Amino acid sequence: MLKIYRVNSRTKQVTLEERKVEECILGGRAFASDVILKEVNPLCDPLGSENKIVFATSMLAGSGAPTALRLSVGTKSPLTNGIKESNSGGTVAAGLAKHNIRAIIVEDKPEDDNWHYIKIDKDGNVTLENGNEFKEMNTYEFVLLMNAKYGEGVAFAGIGNAGARMYKSASLQVTDNTTGLPARAAARGGVGAVLGSKHIKGIVIEKTKGVKFPFPDKKAHAEAKKAFMDVIMNSPVCGMSMTGTIANIDPHALNGTLPNRNFSGEPISGAQVDKIGVKKFLSDIKENGGKTGLACQPGCVIRCSNIYNGKDGNMLTASLEYETIGLCGSNIDIYDLEFIAKMDHLCDDIGVDTIELGATIGVLMEAGKIPWGDKEAVLKAIEEMYNDTEFGKIVGNGTKDAGEFYNVKRVPVVRGQGMPAYDPRAVKGMGVTYATNPMGADHTSGATAFPGINHHSIEGQLEISASQQVASAVFDSTMCMFGWYAFGFEEETLQVVVNLINAMYGLEWSIEDMMNLGKETLAKEYMFNDLAGFKPEDYKLPKYFYEENSKATGTVFDLDDEVAKAYVGSYLSSMSTTN
Amino acid sequence: MLKIYRVNSRTKQVTLEERKVEECILGGRAFASDVILKEVNPLCDPLGSENKIVFATSMLAGSGAPTALRLSVGTKSPLTNGIKESNSGGTVAAGLAKHNIRAIIVEDKPEDDNWHYIKIDKDGNVTLENGNEFKEMNTYEFVLLMNAKYGEGVAFAGIGNAGARMYKSASLQVTDNTTGLPARAAARGGVGAVLGSKHIKGIVIEKTKGVKFPFPDKKAHAEAKKAFMDVIMNSPVCGMSMTGTIANIDPHALNGTLPNRNFSGEPISGAQVDKIGVKKFLSDIKENGGKTGLACQPGCVIRCSNIYNGKDGNMLTASLEYETIGLCGSNIDIYDLEFIAKMDHLCDDIGVDTIELGATIGVLMEAGKIPWGDKEAVLKAIEEMYNDTEFGKIVGNGTKDAGEFYNVKRVPVVRGQGMPAYDPRAVKGMGVTYATNPMGADHTSGATAFPGINHHSIEGQLEISASQQVASAVFDSTMCMFGWYAFGFEEETLQVVVNLINAMYGLEWSIEDMMNLGKETLAKEYMFNDLAGFKPEDYKLPKYFYEENSKATGTVFDLDDEVAKAYVGSYLSSMSTTN
């Protein structure tokens, strides 16, 4: 049996529902979006009692396959006012899978000011513990205290002060596999604010050996897992281990992709790239005693994670990523890797999304509230967020609100969410994804920045984005995106993933069945947004991307609005015919 | 011929369109809403180039009838994101009518930072004048300078710093007839922010004798006007002249209507009422050298306006009104009439809506950012708005944003606009109007607080509100609301209004035709909102009014959501069958 726990944050009741494996197939994003559509009023206040927040493990969690231990967090987003799934590696999905817990659903909202955290002990007992003393505590300190209280190796997914204060950019921080520190994140969409609105600090899981997944056919599983291992171990994605996502900085800067000064489209010089690119990263790692090739989740063989230390040899973050460098670096005219890692650390500690923070600061710089590239002023802005001043709240409430507050003309957001580190005029497929996917400006829910495509032309980009959006809805439900890259592009290897799903759940799925899971999940998400008041014509980028040439590429973003509308509409009509 | 001017704020072109009287029948709100629906993209950014702002005189302006010189201001509101018409007395409609100008429509948005004002000289020439030196000037100083420049008696409708900074609560201030000072306002919906976005300070009209309205039949007009005068002079509304709207403070406080501490529903004591009620008002007027019984617009016989002076004998405002006392007084626990008048003065000077400001401060008090009833802290908050600090912007951006910013539970807004001084649990017809009318929480677009109704019961309130909403769409298009009260309740007197319209425009309207103008205007407004993304289910009050008893009345607001939806839907379907 797999377990689904419901935690009522008002009544403090914890209820368990057990489901047979073959009746508990949905995982990750597919599970979360299904619950949000079926159980949450699309018109509700995201920070009110009607919203829920779902924590769900990937479908392959428990299979023992590498990259399968992904944690999906689903809710109605306070940033986009639409449906949101944000996911993370780290140790929490593993912690849940050890007890065959598929999901924890946090419901309702307390009327008093008492805080709690969800605790899972060695034997898998799920309880709500009083957490008043931790209410105003950031994540690093909280994790250290939990380790002291429950023994080393605690897994944690939860919020810092940003979530407690319901900042719209609040992330859910998750403990990393190598360091045990809350350096990973289900960062986007303000999911941390929703948890904060329910006065729940997070989920704390004691270290344990756990129990096995109840495979219907152990032999079939062992064979399918072996085939899975064979593919992934021989895949070029294992080559990510040396540099992780930072390998993309140099080529994306050259292509005009990496954002520069609030997505101005100005080119980034070679000298600038050298200060934040892969060579500088590797030399810092070497000089300051950092590490690359680390697994963010137990058993990962891709190992794209790293530990980045400051000059003093102390760890700043695990890991430093492309997105953080793009948004908290070039986008705000800062070319200092150690400083960017320090920002990353502070974001992880207070619990905010580094993408949203960098996009917000970009807009505040365009508004003249922070000088371009002024590190001291940026630190002061983050400090104001720590101190919850008015300006600090503005910093914490994300790009869209900051842009409105200061009447900024160019605000790089899509449906309320700040843009990740891909200028949509330079990687048009990413622009198509931002415009048309159900999550707003999101880089993982339809990533297209592959080699071998003319990214400056719109030709064929809707088709590429559309197929990646489906793939993303599948891998966000089953495993890590980077793991998927070992399987996702050929029938033969896709079949290997299907075989493992079939072996776990006693199914006879085809590849088509697996991909249909993605399509159905997307249809549910569009439907939620539709009921929440989004119209097909809302699926577009801010106007200036269509009107102002990027100077780095000489192009504008030119997806036809009607084409985007028709694409989204096709999902909505597929939903209305099937339901 | 009647004149319609279009002012392009980007190209600086001023173009004149002349229309025959019989082809220029629409005035005031009917004119403005017609233009906004036909010419403005409902999905546009209210502060962007696609929005327009319309200044239109009432249909009876130029007739010589008292109360006919009303100025309507229509636009897409940055506060509600829906259609908005806000209107004002004062001297500007008279100034336009003297040149037979029916409307001025300001379009587009400049790309540079140059400011202008619209000037109408003695001969009726309309020009755009450079106004860079006045950009950061508040309204009182600006009007004094304009009087020095163009001679005494300048009429002005425009913005102070709140509008220039595009605060969402920015009003359009209008010069008063008695004092010549910008103490009156088309206050609601942030119309001032739209004018600010176009870098237009306002309209400045030199004093002049002007020309006559081109009546098709002078004799018919003279007769119709005489009949109009006979009715209004003998109407009980002329009794408003002693106390104006402040007569309502005492009975509305007793009924539980007057808001108390952020619409908490707590009763207001007799001792409290005595500090802000009509007796105190009249004794202050007497002691400090103020005046009552004044006409806000030329020739008004109702004369509900007043001049309220401080203890030092200097004028604070003209006039002090019920709404300002309700929102900037009891709603924020302040029981000091002179202090409220001082707030009123500051609001008029910087150009913000006193209703929105009081509702915002109520929410900031509930958030703990300003202590209840702390006058010094309130003054400091307004000072911060003058100084454009972060907190000042929050104060200036209205109730909804402030509530979101501080995660306040009880935020008395409807579709983005702060609630006027009628608790909807105590005057349920007003609640119906807030919920269902196209403008958001608005007290004039369907006022129901008449004697002889059981306001604590929902019984029959939709019908009363619905008929008042139609009446309001008529009088907002033709004349002042208080003038209408002399005519609006009997066939015989309604016919007198119809006769005057017919005489002015060479029409043969029936009473039904006139009321249909109201219905059609409402249908256009609902249609605009529909296209802007509002759904029928958005037409409701904040949830807590349905759930929490007012302690003053023991009642909740209990209009059924489905009934409200059906009511709004009926307007939308009437529109789709006629267009």
Mean pLDDT of B489-500: 96
- Token pair in block for residue B296: 């806000």
- Chain A: closest CA distance from residue B148 (Å): 33
**Strand segments (E) across B121-183:** 126-130, 155-158, 172-174
Closest residue in B to A533 (Cα) is: B533
Closest Cβ opposite residue B391 in set A43, A47, A390: A390
Residues A152-193: pLDDT tens digits? 999 999 999 999 999 999 999 999 999 999 999 999 999 999
Closest Cβ opposite residue B535 in set A394, A407, A533: A533
Residues B333-372: pLDDT tens digits? 999 999 999 999 999 999 999 999 999 999 999 999 999 9
pLDDT at B578: 45
Closest Cβ opposite residue A390 in set B47, B394, B533: B394
pLDDT at A574: 81
Alpha carbons within 13 angstroms on the beta-carbon side of residue A541 total 28
Mean pLDDT of B292-307: 94
Closest Cβ opposite residue A166 in set B47, B407, B538: B407
Those residues with Cβ within 8 angstroms of residue B28's Cβ, 6 or more apart along the chain or in another chain: B56, B57, B58, B59, B70, B72, B85, B87, B476, B477, B478
Contact state of A407 with B537 under an 8 Å Cβ cutoff: no
The confidence band for B452, taking pLDDT boundaries of 50, 70 and 90, is confident
pLDDT at B197: 97
pLDDT at B223: 97
Q: In chain B, what residues touch A537 (CB-CB under 8 Å)?
A: 43
Mean pLDDT of A277-285: 96
Mean pLDDT of B70-93: 98
Q: Cis before residue B472, ω within 30 degrees of 0?
A: no
Residues A16-35: pLDDT tens digits? 999 999 999 999 999 999 99
Q: How far apart are CA B526 and CA A21, in angstroms?
A: 51
pLDDT at A576: 58
pLDDT at B579: 41
Residues B264-279: pLDDT tens digits? 999 999 999 999 999 9
Residues B221-250: pLDDT tens digits? 999 999 999 999 998 887 677 889 999 999
Closest Cβ opposite residue B390 in set A394, A535, A537: A394
- Token pair in block for residue A74: 């689903």
Q: In chain B, what residues touch A538 (CB-CB under 8 Å)?
A: 533
CA distance readout (Å), B428 to A66, A259, B190, B546, B559: 62, 53, 26, 11, 8
- Chain A: closest CA distance from residue B428 (Å): 24
User: Best of B112, B394, B404, B535 to disrupt the A interface by mutation (most A CBs within 10 Å)?
Assistant: B404
The confidence band for A537, taking pLDDT boundaries of 50, 70 and 90, is confident
pTM: 0.86
Residues B35-66: pLDDT tens digits? 999 999 999 999 999 999 999 999 999 999 99
Q: How far apart are CA A535 and CA A552, in angstroms?
A: 33
The confidence band for B537, taking pLDDT boundaries of 50, 70 and 90, is confident
Secondary structure (DSSP) of A5-38:
EEEETTT--EEEEEE-GGG----HHHHHHHHHHH
Alpha carbons within 13 angstroms on the beta-carbon side of residue B232 total 26
pLDDT at A140: 98
pLDDT at B576: 58
Residues A318-344: pLDDT tens digits? 999 999 999 999 999 999 999 999 999
Instruction: Give the count of Cβ contacts less than 8 A between chain A and B.
Output: 28
Q: Are A145 and A188 in contact (CB under 8 A)?
A: no
Q: In chain A, what residues touch B393 (CB-CB under 8 Å)?
A: 405-406
Contact state of A43 with B390 under an 8 Å Cβ cutoff: no
Q: In chain A, what residues touch B196 (CB-CB under 8 Å)?
A: none
> Which among A139, A196, A146 is positioned nearest to A166, based on CA atoms?
A196
Q: What is the number of H-type helices and E-type strands within chain A?
A: 22, 17
Q: Are B110 and B10 in contact (CB under 8 A)?
A: yes
